[in-house]
Amino acid sequence: MIRRSRSLALGALAVALTATLAATLPASPADATGSRPPRTGFEESHGARWTTQPEEQRLLAAVDRAGPRAEVDRIGTTEQGRPVQLVRLGAPAPEKARDVRRGNSVLLICSQHGDEPSGREACLSTVRDLAFAEDRATERFLQRTSVLVVPTANPDGRAADTRGNSDGVDINRDHLALKTAEGRAMAAVIRDYRPDTIYDLHEYGPTVPYYMKDLLSLWPRNLNTADAVHREATSLSEDFVEPAVHRAGFSTGVYGIWTDPETGEPLKQVAGDGQERILRNTAGVKGSVGLLVETRVDALTDAERADPARNNRRRVTSQLAALDGAFSFLDRHRGRVEAATTAARLAGYADRGPVYLGGADNDPATDAQTLADPPCAYRLDATQFAQVKDELALHGVNWRKLGSGAVVPLRQPLRGLVPLLLDERADYHLTVAAHMNGCRGVVGGNP
Express each pLDDT in 365-386 by its tens digit: 999 999 999 999 999 999 999 9
Segment 173-218, tens digit of pLDDT:
999 999 999 999 999 999 999 999 999 999 999 999 999 999 999 9
* Percent of all residues in the chain with a pLDDT value above 90, rounded to a whole number: 86
Pick from 324, 343, 362: which residue ends a domain?
Answer: 343
- For residue 190, give the CATH number of its domain: 3.40.630.10
* Percent of all residues in the chain with a pLDDT value above 70, rounded to a whole number: 91
More confident residue, 86 or 31: 86
Which residues constitute the domain of residue 135?
7-343
pTM to 2 decimals? 0.93
Domain identity same for 406 and 317: no
Residue 442 in any domain: the answer is no
Residue 444 in any domain: the answer is no
Closest CA to 251 of 215, 284, 218, 220: 215
Domain identity same for 71 and 191: yes
Residue 1 in any domain: the answer is no
Domain identity same for 219 and 94: yes
Domain identity same for 71 and 205: yes
Domain identity same for 260 and 409: no
Q: Confidence class of residue 97 from pLDDT cuts 50, 70 and 90?
A: confident
Residue 294 in any domain: the answer is yes
Q: Confidence class of residue 444 from pLDDT cuts 50, 70 and 90?
A: low
Q: Confidence class of residue 443 from pLDDT cuts 50, 70 and 90?
A: low
Domain identity same for 77 and 158: yes
| Res. 33: pLDDT tops 70 | no
| Res. 53: pLDDT tops 50 | yes
The reported pLDDT for the residue numbered 446 is: 60
Domain identity same for 279 and 336: yes
What average pLDDT does the segment 123-136 reach? 96
Domain identity same for 319 and 288: yes
Residue 295 in any domain: the answer is yes
Decide: residue 368, CB within 10 A, 0-12 exposed, 13-18 middle, 19+ buried: exposed
Pick from 343, 360, 384: which residue ends a domain?
Answer: 343
Domain identity same for 391 and 271: no
Average pLDDT, the chain: 91
| Res. 26: pLDDT tops 50 | no
CA distances from residue 302 to 142, 252, 267, 315, 353 in whole angstroms, order as listed? 41, 21, 29, 16, 55
Pick from 343, 372, 393: which residue ends a domain?
Answer: 343
Q: Confidence class of residue 6 from pLDDT cuts 50, 70 and 90?
A: very low
The number of folded domains in the chain is 2
Residue 395 in any domain: the answer is yes
Domain identity same for 367 and 295: no
> Are the CB atoms for 70 and 93 separated by under 8 Å?
yes
Residue 441 in any domain: the answer is no
Domain identity same for 386 and 252: no
Integer Cα distance of 363 and 372 in angstroms: 17
Domain identity same for 283 and 380: no
| Res. 2: pLDDT tops 80 | no
Residue 389 in any domain: the answer is yes
DSSP string, 290-326: EEEEEEE-S--SHHHHH-HHHHHHHHHHHHHHHHHHH
Q: Confidence class of residue 9 from pLDDT cuts 50, 70 and 90?
A: very low
For residue 46, give every residue at least 6 positions away whose Cβ sits within 8 Å of its Cβ, in sequence order, or none.
Answer: 24, 25, 309, 313
Q: How many CB atoms lie within 10 A of CB 18?
A: 15
